[in-house]
Amino acid sequence: MSAANDARAMGAPVIRYGGAERVSGTQRYLSDIEFPDAAHVAFTTLPIGCASIESIDTTPATTMPGVIGAFTAADLPAPMPRFGISHKDRSVIADGVVNFHGEPVVAVVAESPDLARIAADAVIVEWTELAGVYDLDSALADGARLVQDAALRTDDHKHSNVLETADYAWGDLDEQQRETAHVVENTYEFPMVTHFTIEPGGVVAAPTDDGGIEVHSPVQHPYLLQRILADVVGLPLSKVRVIAPDPGGGFGGKQTPRYEPLMAVLAQRTQRTCRLILSLEETFQLMRRSGCRVDARTGFRDDGTVTFHELRADFHIGAYADVAPRVMTKGSYVGAGPYRIPAVRVHARAVLTNTTPSCAFRGFGAPQVGWATESQIDAGARLLGIDALEMRRRNLVDLDEAFIRGDHEARADGRWHQSLERAAELIGWGEELPEGRGRGIAVGIKPGATSGLSQSLVRLLYDGSAIAYAGTSDMGQGARTLWKQILADELGVDLDRISIVSGDTTAVPFDLQTSASRSTVFMGNAVLEACRDIRQRVLDLYAEATDISIDSLEAAPGELSTPSGTLSLIEAAQVGLGSLRGEIIGQGTSRLRGVKGHPLGGDAAFYEFNATAIEVEVDRETGEVLLTKHVTVGDVGTELNPLQVVAQDEGAAIMGLGHSLMEQVLLDEHGCIRNLGALDYRIPTFNDVAVEMISDSIENHDGPGPYGCKGISEGALLCTAGAVGAAVADAIGTPVRQLPLTAERIWHAMQSANAEQPTN
């Protein structure tokens, strides 16, 4: 396919880049790559969430033949190197205390994976349990043990377990409260859940001949990892090479460095390639979503209009900051939802606990707070006897109307009512339902990236093939497929003659991140600009080679028009390059600078908006939920590849069923994860998908990305819980405010509803 034969690649269902490799098993994920002569790493950990380390005896390990070394905090420089993005709080290895279940105490390097494991298990650690804090209440209690040493913190809250707070307010809340007749007040809980990528975690680190370090890690942000490694091991960026094989699922879990600094140190110390492949259980201890408890008070007029909304949201973030403070800040920023509310007050806190450090996870804090806000709208609907769809119609903002007010307003950048109406129509809103069934509808919103930088290089080669260098990690969203589509259309190169290079900081120009559904917009624009740069260069070169005046030439996608007719861009490039051949190199940069004083550091490049409608049947005997219908409608701007849009949308929607219905990380009283592993931690399967599932999108070509697109990868998960919760409440006549909505919780709710009056 090429522009020359008029079939545009953009908007077509182009098959995933790297798809053939993935269906035939030849795609190499980190653990599939052979590293000849690598040494293998295993960790010694403790079966406890919080303990002081009294003594470590590594001799049982180091005396085993084939063990290269066993490294502890004592082998690292003092003070212990610490790293992090916003807070440099994470020690390279446990430093005197274990702060969460699974934190590595000893790293053993050995000649085989078996031996590393056996030796790590043979290390003797003496430890004393400390009064760890494993939930919000104990972390916030007076006299609670501090998860992080106050002496190592510089922030205002250092004598408490609150790491950061965020406050957003507008309007006169007190006055609105005085004038409001109907107020609902409730507490909502959102569970800790784990990413459960089918590819477990892993890192390979190797010393290089020039004294540098090479780290292979399936990360979403290779350049961030490069920066942090350079800092920890004290090398210039040019001597730290990060190679990022395609992640086997990321979902936010593979953004930030965790064991990479330790692995780099091990490689330096042993001067060996060190390979660490984690089990799924260890991966549970590497990443999770922050749990959240929200106290919400919401006022309504008789007609359902919201008058005020007050939220106190506590995010249960874990032992180290990672990006959790940002999750809290950004998630609570849109806490009041896409509504027209005259007075809002949001107070959110990121609370440290002795649990797995939480990080980014699809939705980035928005689903946690959205669960409360959407449920409050439904509570108002029940109280006032107004239909839930009608409630949203009356309160949802129109295009260009502010939903966040105050100094830094945010306005609707899409026609969001269209998504709401489409979802309602597709679920058959208002149609009669049989006994035992219920329906719910909800909307969700998430700010896209608020600043960003993506740089790209594109080379148009003499034979009409092309290579794009774009640092986006291709973790399932199919980024490279889109870059290929852009090149095909803009340069007129056949799809199968395009290669995309990513995942190597030495070869590929800088890209800030692969997250926040921002890559299609940011990197997409950079690739587009690089292609346009090539077109301009072809034009200039053609003019130079033919002596035709530049003014009489015009470059368009895939072609060059000249006074004597139109020729393909490739032909024009060949004429321009002449007998020396060579290539045309284009460069593109997409930069969004932050805004000083903005609570998020800048305005969101776009908003993801989704409307979800769900129909359920609840078994009155057992409380079990059967999803009969699941509709998700995203406001996508433009669908660049319908296959990928529907896959991302359905994927997010089904993932959202996890925290809504079944997933939760459970801890025992010592802070150990009780459901550690796939046997006890359930995620959605083929059988958990709704009997009928419909994914649809609204296209108004109103996004800031190439051809009017917006980011789309998270939307369908933002309000799944709200829609499921409303549907269950509709079916059983009473709401459940604690996720996940397990059969047990629903059954209990039905029992107490039978005994009492229904609540709102």
Partner 1 sequence: MSTNEVAPTNHLSDHQVTLEVNEQAVVLNVPAHRTLLDGLRDELCLTGTKKCCADGECGACTVFLDGVLVNSCLVLCVETEGQSVTTIEGLSTNGLSDLQEEFLNSGAVQCGVCIPGQVVAAEGLLRTNPHASATEIRDAMAGNLCRCAGYERIVQAIQVAAGRRVEIT
Catalytic residues: 714
Strand order in the sheet with 343-352: 162-170, 343-352, 306-318, 291-300, 182-190
Judged by beta carbon distances under 5 to 8 A according to partner kind, the member of partner 1, ligand FES, none in contact with residue 578 is none
Instruction: Considering only residues 456 through 495, tell me which ones interact with partner 1, judged by CB under 8 A.
Output: 475-478
Q: Could you tell me the smallest distance in angstroms from the CB atom of residue 282 to partner 1?
A: 11
Burial of 26 (0-12, 13-18, 19+ CB in 10 A): exposed
Q: Is 178 in contact with 232 (CB distance < 8 Å)?
A: no
Q: Could you tell me the smallest distance in angstroms from the CB atom of residue 497 to ligand FES?
A: 27
| DSSP strands (E only) in 370-418 | 402-404, 410-411
* DSSP labels, 492-553: ---GGGEEEE-SBTTTS--B--S-TT-HHHHHHHHHHHHHHHHHHHHHHHHHHHHT--GGG-
Q: Could you tell me the smallest distance in angstroms from the CB atom of residue 280 to ligand FES?
A: 8
**Per CB under 6 A, does 691 bind ligand FES?**
no
Q: Which is nearer to partner 1, 115 or 162 (CB)?
A: 115
> Can you tell me which of 59, 63, 112, 536 binds partner 1, judged by CB under 8 A?
112
Query: Which residue stretch of 69-77, 127-135, 292-300, 503-511 sits at the interface with partner 1 (rule: CB under 8 A)?
Result: 127-135
Q: Which is nearer to partner 1, 90 or 275 (CB)?
A: 275
Query: For residue 583, which phi and psi values (nearest 5 degrees)?
Result: -155, 165
**Per CB under 8 A, does 453 bind partner 1?**
no
Structure tokens at 310: 């007050």
Strands 692-698 and 554-556, sheet pairing: unpaired
**Per CB under 6 A, does 249 bind ligand FES?**
yes
Q: Could you tell me the smallest distance in angstroms from the CB atom of residue 253 to partner 1?
A: 10
Rg (C-alpha) for the chain, rounded Å, is 27
**Per CB under 6 A, does 23 bind ligand FES?**
no
| DSSP strands (E only) in 593-745 | 607-618, 625-635, 692-698
Helix (H) or strand (E) holding 110: strand 106-110
Burial of 302 (0-12, 13-18, 19+ CB in 10 A): exposed
> Can you tell me which of 198, 402, 507, 691 binds ligand FES, judged by CB under 6 A?
198
**Per CB under 8 A, does 121 bind partner 1?**
yes
Would you give the DSSP letter of residue 36?
T
Judged by beta carbon distances under 5 to 8 A according to partner kind, the member of ligand FES, partner 1, none in contact with residue 584 is none
Strands 437-447 and 213-216, sheet pairing: unpaired
> Can you tell me which of 69, 207, 248, 740 binds partner 1, judged by CB under 8 A?
248
Site string (198-217) toward partner 1, x via CB under 8 A: xxx-----------------
Contacts with partner 1 by CB under 8 A: the residue count is 76
Site string (460-489) toward ligand FES, x via CB under 6 A: ----------------x-------------
**Per CB under 8 A, does 46 bind partner 1?**
yes
> Can you tell me which of 2, 3, 43, 44 binds partner 1, judged by CB under 8 A?
44
**Per CB under 8 A, does 247 bind partner 1?**
yes
Structure tokens at 540: 């200039």
Could you give the count of Cα atoms lying within 13 Å of 620 in the half-sphere of its Cβ? Answer: 11
Residue 621 burial (CB count, 10 A): 9
Q: Could you tell me the smallest distance in angstroms from the CB atom of residue 221 to partner 1?
A: 16
**Per CB under 8 A, does 62 bind partner 1?**
no
Q: Could you tell me the smallest distance in angstroms from the CB atom of residue 633 to partner 1?
A: 16
**Per CB under 8 A, does 196 bind partner 1?**
yes
> Can you tell me which of 11, 171, 249, 557 binds partner 1, judged by CB under 8 A?
249
Q: Is 135 in contact with 316 (CB distance < 8 Å)?
A: yes
The set of residues, in sequence order, having a beta carbon less than 8 Å from that of 1 and lying 6+ positions away, is 7, 9, 12, 488, 494, 495
Longest dimension (CA), the chain: 91
Q: Which is nearer to partner 1, 110 or 741 (CB)?
A: 110
Q: Which is nearer to partner 1, 279 or 759 (CB)?
A: 279
Q: Could you tell me the smallest distance in angstroms from the CB atom of residue 121 to partner 1?
A: 4
> Can you tell me which of 1, 4, 12, 15 binds partner 1, judged by CB under 8 A?
15
> Can you tell me which of 5, 25, 36, 37 binds partner 1, judged by CB under 8 A?
25
**Per CB under 8 A, does 724 bind partner 1?**
no
Q: For residue 435, what are the CA distances in angstroms to 690, 731, 759?
A: 18, 8, 20
Q: Could you tell me the smallest distance in angstroms from the CB atom of residue 476 to ligand FES?
A: 5
Where on the chain is the footprint of ligand FES (CB under 6 A)?
198, 249, 476
